[in-house]
Amino acid sequence: MLVTSKEILLKAKSEGYAVVAPDFIDLDSARVFVETAQRLGKPIILSYAQAHSEIISLEEAASIGKLVAKSVDVPIVLHLDHGTDEDVIRKAISLGFTSVMIDASMDSFEENVRRTKAIVDYAHLFGVSVEAEIGHVGSGENYENHSACDSVYTEVEDAISFVEQTGVDSLAVSIGTAHGIYKGVPVLNFERLHELAKAVKIPLVLHGGSGSGDENLHRCAVEGISKINIFTDFMIGGMKEIEKAKPKDYFELKKTANKGMAEVLEHYLNLFSK
């Protein structure tokens, strides 16, 4: 069942849990994520990252996402993750994505506001929810093409001003996570999270959830974050299952990888609840 992110994230915020947002890269991963959500009776935000356009095109992602989302009864959001190009974001909306992210976090605050507001004004004409980011989530070793850079914490006053000026539906904030693989478990700034959650009325988003540690992520989910992005852990989970099972052919390999990804998603769906 296709829904907007605003619908499910406002519920998550009011009830104190987080929705998992897994990035899919093909039909198998999309189907695994949606079927696991259906089996556990929990919503997910099925995400396609613009950075993965060399693996799967925007058009292919739209067709796959809509197909699998409509095959189940649980709420599924089809979300464009880390949209850095306005033309791509508008195209995603025209193709049926129900949620988009405009990522202008590397721009100046003023330029981020300008670009985000333009997308919000456009997307809302079509009933599409919009996520944006302030502060910046850095990068470790990763499967995506983010530039290597350090995280920059989100300032509370900036968050308040940004939401007021843009009318955005959800806000990705930086409290110490990074995209990709960590060397050790990160130390998250929960004091800053509490300040942001108290000051900002819209749902907050955490990027770079993979490898952040179960205790950290559970605390985020029940202490102010309403959406948590996971990608790298699915790739690692699928590969670990392949190495363990040693599949004999391609068909077995696909089934084995799917099993590993399903187990990762089930773990996080349970972890992010109260």
Taking the C-alpha atoms of residue 265 and residue 228, their distance in angstroms, rounded to an integer, is 12
For residue 185, the model assigns a pLDDT of 58
Residue 274 pLDDT level (bands cut at 50, 70, 90): low
- Residue range 196-246, pLDDT digits in tens: 999 999 999 999 877 778 999 999 999 999 999 999 999 999 999 999 999
Q: What are phi and psi of 229, to 5 degrees?
A: -85, 130
pLDDT at 140 (0 to 100): 45
Per-position DSSP letters for 50-106, written without gaps between them: GGGTTTS-HHHHHHHHHHHHTTSSS-EEEEEEEE--HHHHHHHHHHT-SEEEE--TT
Q: Cβ neighbours of residue 141 under 8 Å, at least 6 residues apart?
A: 180, 181
Q: Give the pLDDT of residue 151.
A: 53
Counted domains in the chain = 1
Whether 21 has a pLDDT exceeding 60, the answer reads yes
The strand pairing partners of 206, in sequence order, are 173, 228
Q: What are phi and psi of 240, to 5 degrees?
A: -60, -40
Tens of pLDDT along 94-122? 999 999 999 999 999 999 999 999 999 99
Residue appearing with tokens 């190009």: 85
Between 43-57, 150-164, 189-203, 246-260, the lowest mean confidence (pLDDT) is in 150-164
Q: Which domain holds residue 183?
A: 2-271
Return the closest-CA partner of residue 47 out of 175, 258, 58, 120.
58
> Rounded mean pLDDT of the chain?
91
**CA 57 distance to own-chain centroid:** 18
Q: How far apart are CA 12 and CA 162, in angstroms?
A: 22
- pLDDT over 90 for what percent of the chain? 83
Catalytic residue, candidates 26, 28, 73, 81:
81
User: Is pLDDT of 183 > 80?
Assistant: no
Q: Per mean pLDDT, which range of 36-50, 85-99, 129-143 is the poorest?
A: 129-143
Lookup: tokens for 133? 């980011």
171 has a pLDDT exceeding 70: yes
pTM: 0.90
The lowest-confidence range among 110-124, 167-181, 242-256 is: 167-181
pLDDT band at 186 (very low <50, low <70, confident <90, very high): low
- Which residue's structure tokens are 């904030």? 173
Find the CATH number of the domain harbouring 58.
3.20.20.70
26 is an active site residue: no
Strands in 74-214 per DSSP E? 76-83, 99-102, 129-133, 138-139, 170-173, 178-179, 204-206
